Amino acid sequence: MVRRAVANTDGLAMTTPRHILKTVFGYDSFRLNQESIIQNVLAGHDTLAVMPTGGGKSMCYQIPALLFPGLTIVVSPLISLMHDQIEQLQEAEINAVVLNSAIDSDTYRSNMSRVARGEVKMLYMAPETMLLPRILDFLSSVKVSCLTIDEAHCISEWGHEFRPEYRQLALARERFPEAVCIALTATATPQVRDDIRRILQFESTNEFISSFDRPNLHLEVCMRQDGLAQVLDVVERFSDGAGIVYCASRKQVEQLTGRLRAKGVSALAYHAGLDDDTRAKNQEAFRLDDVRVIVATVAFGMGINKPDVRFVVHYELPKNIESYYQQIGRAGRDGLDAYCLLLFSYADIAKIGFFIEQMSQTEQRQAAQHLQTLIRYCESAECRRGPLLAYFGETHQSDSCGYCDNCERKQLPEIDLTKAAQKFMSCVYRTGQRFGASHVADVLRGSKAQKVLDLNHDTLSTYGIGADTPKAEWLFVANMLLQYKLIVQNEHGGLVLTEEAIPVLKNEQRFRCRVSAIAQKSRSRTAAAKKSNSKKSAVDHTLHNPDLFEKLRTLRTALARKKRVPPYVIFSDKTLIAMANDVPKTDSALLDIPGVGEAKLKKYGPAFLEILKIE
């Protein structure tokens, strides 16, 4: 169906989507599909846009909203998401307002009258608000050009965030027969997509699906050995970047937050067991860069739009591939490199297996399938992108992405660990194939730990034969043996030899392995006693002038603190990198920097130029 509310270009001959992209948002070119989606909406066709997180969905309705003569209603499920969008739009001097329970009554009234006067381009609301009879009546008196349904998967019962009120939007639409509708989501499963189209009565020809590949995400899967140390490693590597650590339970969240804080990491917890105030406060602290790390359950994420999340660590196995992809998708929305580490343990799998046994039969089958898919993913030695994209019905163009642990490992030189492997595996055998790597390492090192003595493991032939090797190295050897499947973990975390171990133990075969960068790093972490400053700037590989970048960042932080907005709302990291690299010294040169539009030039140009001019 073609709606009549097509864009009004009378008197705005110069105003095209591209022009707005440049002058308002400061970008030179559209990303894939953005332009076609915008054109389709402007032509009055109801449109479904499916794009991964960070793909740039907002632009797809915000640019038409600025071109339409009337109001664009934006339905969004969460107050925090609306708030985030409004903040960014207002920074760009766009007339966007919100109606929800979080604003005071004066603001509410004033927002309503601004809408009534036709001053507002975008009105953000939760579906509950929009569906109130008095709001529907009010909106009927306004010229509505476009209805945007953000996070449209909430309409589908198949989705992971079904919201019954979303269902009623289909009916409410009838109140605005002239408004074109655009629905947006990052959920790619065909079932959910079909549901959205069916419920909103969209034609399938008006569906735009972008690739779900996120090439800037560096993917890695690693055995969880000393989990805390592994998380600390990541936190240290991204010394100035923000990150999320996902845990499976509230208890684990609390415990890990405490441990990280004890090590001096700026970290806060987030889970459904915290009261609303604490949760909102912690999320806001993360958004504002007041805290660097959020340790969270799956409850965290949907309400957050932070583009500069530099790492996502899964401390435990996620529920399934879909939620894993959604969670890692929260990293690197700004397109800059981001790191995603999944820590994997057979003990976790046993635990999940136990929970699955308690489920009903139908639930059981699905849960077991999800678990198997995840295990296959973790154990795979092939490029990580293949199976992830395949899950969404997409084929990765190449066998090797070059940006995951498995692809990188193939390019690494092999190291020979035969001697160490033999010692370690003999000790696994002698201790009865019941203990974890840490205990085996203690025995090898001749430790006088109570557990070793209580078990009489100081009488074994392998006791003390590895005393000259640091414990961290033994843990590294264990990790390599697990990765190459010479040993496996039983459901209690105890190490057990496999068939593959025998030829190495018998000295018939050597044990050679390729070591990923992070495994190599945790290997040398204790050995090198962190002598070298291995801190990596979160954004270093495109950045030529880190000192200038730091100065610009400091200015940005100061401005953001003063306004109580997140730093990324002022300028993104990408914009600051471009400034530091190009060193613009005039207004027009500054306008050439991606992310600098006219409004921001006026507001922040002078302050930034002051720094740039003395370079």
| Locus of tokens 């084929």 | 395
30 contact choice in ligand ADP, Zn ion, none (CB below 5 to 8 Å, kind-dependent): ligand ADP
* Burial class of 108 by CB neighbour count within 10 A (0 to 12, 13 to 18, 19+): middle
Least CB distance from residue 175 to ligand ADP, whole Å?
A: 27
d(CA 557, CA 565) in angstroms, rounded, equals: 9
Closer of 15 and 534 to ligand ADP (Cβ): 15
407 contact choice in ligand ADP, Zn ion, none (CB below 5 to 8 Å, kind-dependent): Zn ion
Closer of 178 and 598 to ligand ADP (Cβ): 598
348 contact choice in ligand ADP, Zn ion, none (CB below 5 to 8 Å, kind-dependent): none
Count, residues near Zn ion per rule CB under 5 A: 4
404 contact choice in Zn ion, ligand ADP, none (CB below 5 to 8 Å, kind-dependent): Zn ion
Q: Is 334 in the site for ligand ADP (CB under 6 A)?
A: yes
572 contact choice in ligand ADP, Zn ion, none (CB below 5 to 8 Å, kind-dependent): ligand ADP
Q: Is 30 in the site for ligand ADP (CB under 6 A)?
A: yes
Least CB distance from residue 15 to ligand ADP, whole Å?
A: 17
- Positions 576 through 615 that interact with ligand ADP (CB under 6 A): 594
d(CA 314, CA 221) in angstroms, rounded, equals: 9
Least CB distance from residue 386 to Zn ion, whole Å?
A: 8
Say what the alpha-carbon torsion angle 122, 123, 124, 130 is, to the nearest 10 degrees.
Answer: -140
| HEC per residue, 117-159 | CCCCCEEEECHHHHHCHHHHHHHHCCCEEEEEECCHHHHCCCC
Q: Which backbone phi and psi does 613 adopt, to 5 degrees?
A: -70, -30
Identify the H or E element spanning 591: helix 587-591
Closer of 97 and 404 to Zn ion (Cβ): 404
The tokens for 497 are 């030899």
- Positions 406 through 445 that interact with Zn ion (CB under 5 A): 407
Give me the helices (H) in 14-123, please: 17-23, 34-42, 57-67, 79-91, 105-116
Least CB distance from residue 593 to ligand ADP, whole Å?
A: 12
Count, residues near ligand ADP per rule CB under 6 A: 18
Residues ≥6 apart with Cβ < 8 Å to 377: 221, 321, 384, 387, 388
Say what the alpha-carbon torsion angle 284, 288, 292, 298 is, to the nearest 10 degrees.
Answer: 30
Closer of 98 and 404 to Zn ion (Cβ): 404
Contact 98, 125 (CB under 8 A): yes
Q: Is 383 in the site for Zn ion (CB under 5 A)?
A: yes
90 to each of 18, 194, 339, 572, how far by Cα in Å? 20, 35, 31, 16
Contact 188, 209 (CB under 8 A): yes
Return the SS3 of 405.
helix
The tokens for 426 are 């003999």
Q: Is 571 in the site for ligand ADP (CB under 6 A)?
A: no
Least CB distance from residue 188 to ligand ADP, whole Å?
A: 12
231 contact choice in Zn ion, ligand ADP, none (CB below 5 to 8 Å, kind-dependent): none
Least CB distance from residue 30 to ligand ADP, whole Å?
A: 5
Please, what sign has the CA dihedral across residues 125, 131, 135, 137?
positive
Closer of 118 and 402 to Zn ion (Cβ): 402
Residues ≥6 apart with Cβ < 8 Å to 502: none
Task: Report the DSSP pairing between strands 122-125 and 71-75.
Answer: parallel
57 contact choice in ligand ADP, Zn ion, none (CB below 5 to 8 Å, kind-dependent): ligand ADP
Q: Is 210 in the site for ligand ADP (CB under 6 A)?
A: no
Contact 436, 494 (CB under 8 A): yes
- Binding span for Zn ion by CB under 5 A among 4-12, 149-157, 200-208, 402-410: 402-410
Closer of 346 and 403 to Zn ion (Cβ): 403
Least CB distance from residue 396 to Zn ion, whole Å?
A: 8
Closer of 59 and 295 to ligand ADP (Cβ): 59
Least CB distance from residue 53 to Zn ion, whole Å?
A: 20
d(CA 564, CA 91) in angstroms, rounded, equals: 12
- Positions 45 through 74 that interact with ligand ADP (CB under 6 A): 51, 53-59
Least CB distance from residue 95 to ligand ADP, whole Å?
A: 19
Q: Is 401 in the site for Zn ion (CB under 5 A)?
A: yes
Say what the alpha-carbon torsion angle 516, 517, 521, 524 is, to the nearest 10 degrees.
Answer: 70
Least CB distance from residue 444 to ligand ADP, whole Å?
A: 49
227 contact choice in Zn ion, ligand ADP, none (CB below 5 to 8 Å, kind-dependent): none
383 contact choice in ligand ADP, Zn ion, none (CB below 5 to 8 Å, kind-dependent): Zn ion
Least CB distance from residue 80 to ligand ADP, whole Å?
A: 14
> Which amino acid is residue 20, in one-letter code?
I
Q: Which residues bind Zn ion (CB under 5 A)?
A: 383, 401, 404, 407
Q: Which residues bind ligand ADP (CB under 6 A)?
A: 27, 30-31, 34, 51, 53-59, 305, 307, 333-334, 572, 594
